[in-house]
Every structure is written in C-alpha cells, then in structure tokens.
C-alpha cells in the first residue's frame, strides 16, 4: 500500500518545504499538493517541495482542468520532471464549485464534465509524450458519473473514508467498464494521533464538513445524508463554513468523510481498506498540520504492516 500526505497550500512555503523533507525522511511514499483558486499556485509550491527532497513522489492535485488548459497542466509537470526527475503525478477533477464560481468557472452550468475530464487527460498525456515524458494521471472522484469513467485513468482517488462508501464506489467503477484503474486510493481529511489535540480535531471537523457539504447530490441521496444535511446546506449557501453550520452536521456524516484514529487503531483500518482493494491512502489536512502530527502518523504506520 502506498501512503501519502496532503500538504496544505495555506502553509508558508518554507514550512511546506520542511514538512516535505520530514515526510520523505519518515518514509512516506507521496506528498500531494492541492490547487485552489484562492491559494498559492500549486506548481510553484511543488517546485519548492521538490527542491527540498530527493525521492518522494509529488502529486499535483486535485487540480481543475476547468481552470487550467491541458497545456497549462502539462507544461509545469515537464519542467519539474526535467529539473527534479520523473517523480511527479497529477490528479484532476472538477474542483471546488464555490471557489471556481468566484473566478468565473461555473460548473453548475457546465455540461459534459466527465467528457471534458477525459479529453483533458488525453491532451495532457499527449503533451507529456511529445516531450518524452509520462506520468500517472489520477481522477479525483466522488459521484457515480465520475466513478464510471475512473477506469480510463491510471488511478482514482475517492473523496471519502468509510468502508461502505468505498465499497459502493468500487462497485460502480467495476460495473461501468468491467475493470479497475491501476491504482485505487482514498483522499480524506485525517487526524491520526498519539496525544489527542482538540484544536486539530476541530480543523478535521471543518475539513470533513467542507467535503460533505460539497458532495454530489447522488452521493448524499445514496447514503441518506440529504435530509441530515439539509439545514446545514441551507445555511452554507453563502459559501462560508461557520461554526453555526458545523453544529448542524451530524458527527456520523463527518466520520464518513474523514480518518480519525488513535495510532493504535490505524493498522486495523488500513487492513480493512486493503481488503476492499485500496492500495493508496492520502492523509489529507490536518494530518500535515505540523511536523509533530506528521511524525505521529509515521509512528502509527510503522506499527502496522504496509
């Protein structure tokens, strides 16, 4: 099983470099750097992370081909691969609807999102091939429409953590084309701890709530979350996740989208994921909150068999 850490692009870049170095030293396989329109530009952050490390694989993503053209996604990759070696990968997906809308990309009025993603993937691969490079392109997916195209990608990252949701997603992927992508992973807000810190747990709740509230309608309906989330969704319409919204979200919903484990319990959870067919786990923010939380994760991982 490959294990990765998602770094927060809200961090100052020197901090990201220090955390990348630590993730590599502790033996993690990947760091993932997301791209959001309101935050630091991921290729520059990835470049800084690469300059601080030697071998850890670096994933850009999730990054949206609705904001960047395929050429604009491929060219930073080739520049970085030429400079730092072929240790970069890419995860594309529609992106954060609210943030994209603020910069002129309205996904709600965009037709054929799956087709656009498939075309983007082909063009990116073509650009990379023209330059003599190749890299894995992952799909960040959640709802049925995207799950149905997942096997056309090198890997899929599912945006939830609960075994029942993962099983459901894998069934859809398999049913759509009768095959699975080469890699199947999850990408979920995480807090694996040695000594529990309420302030980090609070960040985890916010991060998970953001994912849950942004989940596709079909996912919410499939798991009977729609009714449970209705009051929160109404209040969240302004796009700001305040504590009053968080209070309206049942904790069981938050748990389905996040990994909250004490060190001792992590190996059992990873075994469960392995049994389902998951071979890549990205511990998303706030696991990368500090060097200490990264070390707590690494300690937990060293307890279990990879």
Partner 1 sequence: MDLSVGLTTSSSVEMVKWFAHNADGLGLRGVWIGEDIGRPQEIFTVTSLILLETKRVNVGIGVASPFIRNITTVARAAAALSEISSGRFRLGLGVGGLQDLASMGVQVEKPLESMRRTLQTLRSIWRGETSVTDKELRLENYKPQYGHPVDTPVFMGVRGPKLLSLAAELADGVILSGPREYVKESIELIRERRLAAGLTERGFSFVLWVPTIMLSDERDLELAKKVVAVVVADTPDRLLETAGVSTDEVNTIRAIMRGSGAKEAARNVSDKLVDEFCISGDAERICEIFRSYSSLGINEAVFGPPYGRNPKDAIQQVAKAWGRT
CA torsion through residues 12, 14, 20, 26, sign? negative
Within 18-37, which residues bind partner 1 (CB under 8 A)?
A: 37
Q: Which is nearer to partner 1, 75 or 226 (CB)?
A: 75
Within 123-162, which residues bind partner 1 (CB under 8 A)?
A: 131
- Kindly report the number of other CB atoms within 10 A of residue 218's CB atom: 14
CA torsion through residues 195, 198, 200, 204, sign? positive
Q: Which is nearer to partner 1, 78 or 208 (CB)?
A: 78
- Kindly report the number of other CB atoms within 10 A of residue 231's CB atom: 13
Q: Binding of partner 1 at residue 103 (CB under 8 A)?
A: yes
Residues whose CB is less than 8 angstroms from the CB of residue 64 and which lie 6 or more positions away in sequence, other chains included: 35, 92, 93, 94, 95, 100, 105
User: What's the CA gap between 23 and 5, in Å, rounded?
Assistant: 8
Residues whose CB is less than 8 angstroms from the CB of residue 253 and which lie 6 or more positions away in sequence, other chains included: 212, 225, 228, 229
Q: How far apart are the first and last CA of the chain?
A: 6
CA distances from 200 to 22, 80, 160, 213 (A): 19, 33, 19, 20
Site size for partner 1, by CB under 8 A? 33
Among 4, 7, 33, 43, binds partner 1 (CB under 8 A): 43
Closest CB 14 distance from partner 1, rounded Å: 8
Among 1, 2, 13, 87, binds partner 1 (CB under 8 A): 13
Within 190-249, which residues bind partner 1 (CB under 8 A)?
A: 239
**8 Å CB contact between 20 and 47:** no
Closest CB 51 distance from partner 1, rounded Å: 5
User: What's the CA gap between 136 and 144, in Å, rounded?
Assistant: 22
Q: Which is nearer to partner 1, 41 or 196 (CB)?
A: 41
Q: Which is nearer to partner 1, 6 or 161 (CB)?
A: 6
Q: At what angle do helices 291-303 and 266-276 cross, to 10 degrees?
A: 70
Q: Binding of partner 1 at residue 290 (CB under 8 A)?
A: no
Q: Binding of partner 1 at residue 121 (CB under 8 A)?
A: no
Closest CB 27 distance from partner 1, rounded Å: 24
Q: Which is nearer to partner 1, 47 or 162 (CB)?
A: 47
Nearest to 7 by CA among 202, 248, 176, 36: 36
Q: Which is nearer to partner 1, 86 or 299 (CB)?
A: 86
Among 51, 110, 268, 302, binds partner 1 (CB under 8 A): 51
Within 70-99, which residues bind partner 1 (CB under 8 A)?
A: 71-72, 75-76, 78-80, 82-83
Residue ranges in contact with partner 1 by CB under 8 A: 10, 12-13, 37-41, 43-45, 47-48, 51, 67-69, 71-72, 75-76, 78-80, 82-83, 101-105, 131, 239
């Amino acid at each position: 099983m490959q294990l990765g850490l998602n770094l927060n692009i809200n961090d100052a870049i020197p901090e990201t470099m220090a955390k990348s170095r630590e993730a590599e030293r502790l033996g993690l396989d990947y760091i993932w750097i997301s791209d959001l329109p309101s935050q630091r530009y991921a290729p520059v952050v990835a470049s800084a992370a690469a300059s601080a490390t030697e071998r850890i694989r670096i994933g850009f993503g999730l990054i949206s081909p609705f904001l960047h053209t395929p050429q604009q996604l491929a060219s930073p990759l080739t520049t970085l691969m030429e400079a730092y070696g072929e240790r970069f990968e890419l995860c594309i997906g529609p992106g954060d609807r609210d943030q994209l809308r603020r910069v002129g990309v309205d996904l709600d009025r965009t037709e054929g999102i799956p087709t656009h993603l498939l075309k983007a993937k082909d063009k990116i691969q073509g650009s990379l091939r023209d330059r003599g490079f190749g890299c894995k392109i992952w799909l960040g997916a959640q709802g049925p429409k995207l799950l149905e195209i997942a096997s056309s990608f090198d890997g899929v990252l599912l945006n939830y953590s609960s075994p029942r949701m993962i099983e459901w997603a894998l069934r859809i992927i398999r049913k759509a084309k009768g095959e699975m992508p080469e890699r199947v992973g999850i990408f979920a807000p995480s807090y694996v701890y040695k000594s529990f810190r309420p302030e980090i747990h609070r960040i985890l709740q916010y991060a998970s709530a953001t994912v849950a509230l942004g989940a596709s309608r079909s996912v919410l309906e499939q798991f009977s979350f729609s009714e449970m989330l209705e009051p929160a969704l109404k209040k969240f319409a302004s796009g700001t996740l305040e504590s009053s919204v968080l209070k309206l979200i049942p904790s069981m919903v938050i748990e389905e989208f996040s990994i909250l484990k004490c060190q001792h319990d992590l190996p059992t959870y990873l075994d469960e994921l392995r049994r389902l067919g998951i071979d890549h786990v990205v511990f998303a923010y706030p696991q990368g909150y500090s060097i200490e939380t990264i070390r707590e994760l690494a300690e937990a991982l060293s307890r279990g068999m990879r």
